[in-house]
Chains A and B, each alone.
Chain A
Amino acid sequence: MPTRWLTGHETAEAIEDLVPGSVARSTGVACYLKPEMLVEACHALRDDSDGLDLVHLTNLCAVDYWSHFEVVYHLQSFYKNQFATLKVDVQGRDKPAIPSVVPVWHGAWMQECEAYDLFGIVFEGHPNLHRILLWDGYPGWPLRKDFLSMPGGLQPGLNEFAGTARREAPPVRLVE
């Protein structure tokens, strides 16, 4: 039987039962959690062996949407063979921060380091958050959409390459 891909609404209902007040909103794809309740909700989801039983954090990554960042958690259950997507909105481009889920899933350790390295999102409570792929002291955050206007993105001539200026101006420019 193929994997059951839970919709955001199904996941949201289950989480609301476990930890009331932790869901911000839900869509057909993902369930958005409130950052301050994230760790508590994740603990409950992992240990909820009769319900969703999301024991395995498959994938963790971030997406830059200009106005905010989204951190995406892909979770799955081996025994129930189901798959859920959780998301958290992270506000602010100066020092975006959300709680770390390393206490819940050890596998988040390196993936959170990667998201910090490439997006500059600080995962509070991470035991050893550091630049994992780039070197310490690298000035910019490469996967942000405004990377080219950062110190690390400014290389002589790079802005002149075909294709780099193709995307139209973003709706919000928040870089000082």
Chain B
Amino acid sequence: MVLAAALIAVLALLALIGPATSPYSYSTLDWAHLSIPPGLTAEHWLGTDALGRDLYVRTVYGLRLSLIIGVLATAVSVLIGVAWGMLAGWVGGRLDAWMMRVVDVLYALPYLFIVLILAALFGRGNLVVLLLAIGAVGWLTLARVVRAQTLSLKRREFIEAARAAGLSGPQVLWRHVLPNLAGSIAVYATLMVPQMIVYESFLSFLGLGVEPPQASLGSLINAGARQMLTAPWLLLVPASVLIVLLLSFNILGDGLRDVLDATRR
């Protein structure tokens, strides 16, 4: 788990400063070096693609975009999901029923369908649309999780104690419900980041994601897959980065869950 956290930190650092360590940008074309495998030239140590773009820079840049999308989409989902679930669980009754039916209906819609509509309306490659589309899916499960936990917290005696002490509804929610949800939200969010990255990669792979010459890990893998036989490194490099990233997040999430469960029994 510590290793996973360290790996995530390294990858995030790489995404942050990586592009600056190379003279090339993600769209610089180097006509002298087309389709160079890794390790052949000192200028492009991870090789280049068919247009002579530096693979290291493109991968690092793609990593940055994937991470940003993953983290932002998760943040959006957490915000909506927690607010929605907490409100439904706390107020209960008819409002709860309605809010949860909305979640059910959204669940029932295939999310690809939503994304296609959004893409058709706003054009491909719009980062905000992409975020919205992914975020719209993520919060549903979280809302259910948070609602269920709020319901069970609501019946705990310390909540009754807080009300007896004269705290108002919002005060109880803020001081006693939310902090006790924090553990499970943190775990869930950590597990959600890789999910979001996969969604983005998937959309980019389908060509609904970021627009070339921008690159995300998904679009790089997509491009690499087409030349898998002639230039396998174009697939292998971004794919292994993605795998390491996802694995790290998953291990971190599982670890967090164990740690938080142990103290909370």
Q: Do A and B bind each other?
A: no
